[in-house]
Amino acid sequence: MTALVWFRRDLRVGDHPALRAALERHDRVVPLFCFDERLREPWRMPAELQRGVGCVMGEHYPEPIVDHAEARRAALDRYRVG
């Protein structure tokens, strides 16, 4: 029999109880990950949505260390001539 394992927020395999159970009980395991654009930058999600998807900043996911847009601009500015 084949099992379907849903990876909700990430692709961690070392601490995924459903994956472990599927591997122990089934001949085949099909992983499923539906990428949610909001999870790419969870700090931009409203707090209510963070709680709804189980990805709360500072609790399940670290607060951003750097503003990526600003860091990119600064890096590009360093390479500009003139």
**Is residue 26 located within the same domain as residue 59?**
no
pLDDT of 11 > 90? The answer is no
**Is residue 3 located within the same domain as residue 19?**
yes
SS (H, E, C) 7-48: ECCCCCCCCCHHHHHHHHHCCEEEEEECCCHHHHCHHHCCHH
The two tokens of residue 55 are 């990805």
**Is residue 2 located within the same domain as residue 27?**
yes
Within 10 angstroms of residue 70's Cβ, the number of other Cβ atoms is: 9
| Whole-angstrom distance, CA of residue 17 vs CA of residue 57 | 23
Per-residue pLDDT at 82? 58
Per-residue pLDDT at 23? 95
Q: What is the pLDDT of residues 28-73, one digit of tens each?
A: 999 998 877 777 777 788 989 888 877 788 887 787 788 888 999 9
**Is residue 81 located within the same domain as residue 47?**
yes
Domain that holds residue 18: 1-34
Provide mean pLDDT across the span 9-26. 88
